[in-house]
Amino acid sequence: MTKLDELDKELLEIVCRQRCKFYKEGQEIREKEYQCGAYKILKTMIQEGYLTLDELKNYSAKVIKASLP
């Protein structure tokens, strides 16, 4: 079982579960390497202060809104 920190849990909810067509529920528990390149980039940007979770949530909401008919 993979141990998730709080940032991983937030990213999984904001990005993977809501936006990723390739994510399968529980994947982070079953697989040791569940993080794709985009996930790793976003996590690093947040950890290094280039992006906040609130900004990511806002961008995600814009993407969801733009994809609606």
The CA R_g of the chain, rounded to the nearest whole Å, is 12
The pLDDT value given to residue 20: 83
The pLDDT value given to residue 45: 95
Mean pLDDT of the chain: 85
**Is 55 a residue whose pLDDT tops 50?**
yes
The pLDDT value given to residue 46: 95
The pLDDT value given to residue 1: 46
The Cα–Cα gap between 37 and 3 comes to: 19
21, 25, 29, 33 alpha-carbon torsion, rounded to 10°: -10
**Is 64 a residue whose pLDDT tops 50?**
yes
The Cα–Cα gap between 65 and 51 comes to: 20
